[in-house]
Amino acid sequence: MSRLLAPGATIGIIGGGQLGRMLAMAAARLGYHTVVLEPQANCPAVQLANRQIVAAYDDPAALDELARSASIVTYEFENVPVEAASRLASAVPVFPPPRALEVSQDRVTEKSFLNANGISTAAFRAVDNDGDIAAALDAFGGSGVLKTRRLGYDGKGQRVIRPGQAGDIEGAYAAMGNVPLILEELVSFECEISVIAARGRDGTVAAFDPARNVHREGILRSSTVPAGMSAKVVDEAKLASFRLLEALDYVGVIGVEFFVAADGRVLANEFAPRVHNSGHWTEAACIVSQFEQHIRAIAGLPLGGAGRHSNCVMENLIGNDMNRVPALLGEPNLMLHLYGKAETRAGRKMGHFTRMFPKT
């Protein structure tokens, strides 16, 4: 197969949520068809994709059908079963590579990989019982963030332990589900930033400007660009992202989250091997969005420029924030994007909007 995917070819997407929907939009603009593998019928992505295979992500027959239907396959979320991605990769190119999924799905593996490739993180320890938790807390001065090693997202599977609370950990392991855990050092940080970077099939890399992110209740609420960081911090975060892309032999877009510590250190928190919520601003403030950049990368096309024409603030619409839509549509210099979800629920991401400002 040519490294360049010809217009009219079909791209497979595992996952039918809003990210899959936006990838399908970007693929269509570049002349590609899309087929989505998603167990939920009438998912948001199928409103824009050409076809949906309604089946579980690890269904062997469905995976084989996806491989027959698509010239390349990508995915919209990081908890795709590695075995499923590997099965597909034996028949059709899969980007990002299954290795990126394998590394990202376990927090200890992820942080060990980052450290091994010269990327700093907060200190951490694997913990498998209450005694391990107590010992790790003692090493970290009595505080830390206790997390499940796998399957956490949007703040789920996490517990912050602050100084003075270390004695209140009896039963903590059971309360977290009796699953493998990680205790991370509680870092005093100024803010969280994220870098959306990409690597093409030819090894070319590009990165958008970092966004400054604000979370509430573990869910991303807003991303602001520029992030208000020094050139040194920006360069360090971008270079770390490029180093990670090279180490993974990555193809596609990646989201890398960093803590900027009070002492100026830039510490990687985690990475997502996919397009990322904190990069949604790119569809409004850049000529080439993160979604088009991803399609370009996996299709073997040249990467687009990652510069922006505007400053901006992106905000998620969560649950009843949908009531704000009429007023938002009355604002100038605002781009609104709704995800086509039929049911509004508390904590559910229903859409986002981006306010744009002159670039200074």
* More confident: 166 or 151: 151
Calpha distance 258→27 (Å, rounded): 29
Average pLDDT over residues 34-56: 97
- Count of alpha carbons within 13 Å of 341, Cβ hemisphere only? 21
Let me know: does 94 contact 85? Beta carbons within 8 Å: yes
Q: What are 275's strand-pairing partners?
A: none
Residues 6+ apart with CB under 8 A from 290: 196, 198, 208, 253, 275, 276, 279, 280, 282, 283
CATH 3.40.720.10 correct for 123-184: no
Residues 6+ apart with CB under 8 A from 122: 184, 185, 186, 187, 259, 267, 269
What is the crossing angle of helices 290-299 and 18-29, to 10°? 60
Domain range list for the chain? 10-94, 123-184, 189-358
Average pLDDT over residues 141-152: 88
Q: What share of the chain is helix, strand, coil (3-state, %, to 5)?
A: 30, 30, 40
Confidence of residue 294 (pLDDT cuts 50, 70, 90): very high
Average pLDDT over residues 98-123: 97
For residue 35, pLDDT over 80 is answered with yes
| pLDDT of res. 301 | 98
| pLDDT of res. 153 | 58
Average pLDDT over residues 162-177: 76
Confidence of residue 172 (pLDDT cuts 50, 70, 90): confident
Least confident range of 156-160, 241-245, 301-305, 354-358: 156-160
For residue 170, pLDDT over 90 is answered with no
Q: What are phi and psi of 198, to 5 degrees?
A: -145, 150
In this structure, the strands spanning 266-272 and 219-225 are unpaired
Let me know: does 255 contact 207? Beta carbons within 8 Å: no
Q: Which two tokens stand for residue 84?
A: 């499923």
Calpha distance 216→237 (Å, rounded): 23
CATH class, domain 10-94, is: alpha beta
| pLDDT of res. 1 | 37
Mean pLDDT of the chain: 94
Query: Look-up: residue for tokens 């619409």?
Result: 317
Q: What percent of the chain has pLDDT over 90?
A: 86
Neighbours of 117 (CB within 10 A): 14
48-92 pLDDT per residue, tens: 999 999 999 999 999 999 999 999 999 999 999 999 999 999 999
Let me know: does 298 contact 201? Beta carbons within 8 Å: yes
Least confident range of 22-36, 150-164, 209-223, 288-302: 150-164
CATH class, domain 189-358, is: alpha beta
| pLDDT of res. 263 | 86
For residue 152, pLDDT over 80 is answered with no
Q: Which residue, among 142, 127, 135, 151, has the nearest Cα to 270 in the 3D structure?
A: 151
Confidence of residue 175 (pLDDT cuts 50, 70, 90): confident
Q: What is the largest CA-CA distance in the chain?
A: 62
Let me know: does 271 contact 257? Beta carbons within 8 Å: yes
Let me know: does 283 contact 289? Beta carbons within 8 Å: yes
Average pLDDT over residues 257-271: 94
For residue 198, pLDDT over 50 is answered with yes
| pLDDT of res. 166 | 56
| pLDDT of res. 156 | 62
| pLDDT of res. 43 | 95
